[in-house]
Amino acid sequence: MILKDDVVIVSGVGAGLGARLAARAAAEGAKVVLAARSGNVTDQVVKEITAAGGDAVAVLCDVRKQEDVERVAATAVEQYGKITGLVNSAYSHPGFTDLLETPDKQLRRAMDVILHGSLGMSRAVVPHMSGGGSIVNVGTMSTRKPMRGEGGYAVAKAAMGCATQYMALELGEKGIRVNQAILGWLDGPGVRFFLTMTAEEKGITEQEVYDDIASRNPLNRIPPDEACAGAILYLLSSLASEVTGATIDVNGGEYMPA
């Protein structure tokens, strides 16, 4: 178990990556605090983790609200005595429009959730990482490989990526590592909805849509969200003890940095 005795907070837990990540972290020995604006998913995941012999708690949280993020950190300390890991995965997508056509209100919301939300969560947990720890920010391949309609989302994620490096530089003296996992297509609930929608629009099968997306990377598949969670678990663990300020691309090889 690579996270034995760790206490990990995961923000923005939804039915896809967040849920799989929380379950896998628990299976690797971590006590997990699941934070999300709604308890619909988190409550069910906590039940599944507990039934499997793990330990987890769900906390309602809007990462834009200081009182919410402080409550998440306080709950982790009250329940488990410490915090060793944080995954910032909360996000807001401003809509699939060109960047200059995206309403400013939606752009600001994306920035508030993705950048300011991750900074707020980090501020709340760092004082409790007295023995060191690991923060992992979840990025997007659209900051590496621009795609039409992803501009507003990518801009906010890019800002978070820059913050990752500065946090790594500034928190290293406290023994806290900060890294980024950049994810591409994720075979989970969101992509499955996209496959259905696109197949209906184009009058083709879902398998044909899947095959087209999968053909864009050397592994010839859409990376499953549960498998992609493994890269984040690695960054959280002591296996990555000498890794900080780094970016790991988790996309099946669709984008390969020089």
Residue pair 254/216 in contact (Cβ under 8 Å)? The answer is yes
Q: How far is CA 250 from CA 51, 95, 144, 169, 208, in A?
A: 30, 23, 12, 23, 23
Per the annotation, the verdict on 153 as an active-site residue is yes
DSSP letter, residue 203? T
Question: DSSP labels for 17-38?
Answer: HHHHHHHHHHHTT-EEEEEES-
- Residue 66: which H helix or E strand, with range? helix 66-80
Dig out the tokens for 123 from the structure.
């501020």
Active-site pick, 80, 91, 153, 210: 153
Dig out the tokens for 179 from the structure.
């890294």
Residue pair 11/89 in contact (Cβ under 8 Å)? The answer is yes
Q: How far apart are the first and last CA of the chain?
A: 33
Q: Which residues are catalytic?
A: 153
